[in-house]
Amino acid sequence: MRTATIQAIATAMFVSSAAVASDVRHSGFPESVVGVWAPSPQACQDATKSAVTLSAKTYVSSEANCAVDWVNETASARGPDYSAHMQCSKPSEPTQKVVSNLIVRPKDNNQISVGPDFENLKIYQRCSTK
């Protein structure tokens, strides 16, 4: 009985440390999600209204300008999920900063889901660089 208890505790410790080890902190967004993204290819034509722009260290939309502090990459069944911790301001109030989080879930090279949490992800298409 004692051996089984010790094995169970050791297994639980290994599993929990392995789960923690799957998260990797980066200084910014990976190159694979950097670019201009919009809800539809047509929205790319007037990207100032509905597009978002991701660079390694920034997130810009019509509602916010954000500086990325760090990005956590977490492995999932669908591939990596990215969770960014940022300092953001509204374009109308650039000196007033608030802490914000952003989830980025790539589907493929030309589609991502973006939102403040997993319940509010919106699908975006990559805009052409032409």
CA separation for the pair 36, 130 (Å, rounded): 11
Digit-coded pLDDT (tens) for 7-51: 545 455 444 444 555 799 999 999 999 999 999 888 888 766 789
CA separation for the pair 66, 44 (Å, rounded): 21
What pTM was computed for the model?
Answer: 0.78
Kindly list the domain boundaries of the chain, sorted by start residue: 23-126
| Closest C-alpha among 73, 83, 77, 67 to residue 116 | 83
CA separation for the pair 81, 115 (Å, rounded): 12
Digit-coded pLDDT (tens) for 90-100: 988 988 999 99
| pLDDT for 78 | 87
pLDDT for residue 72 is more than 90: yes
CA separation for the pair 88, 85 (Å, rounded): 10
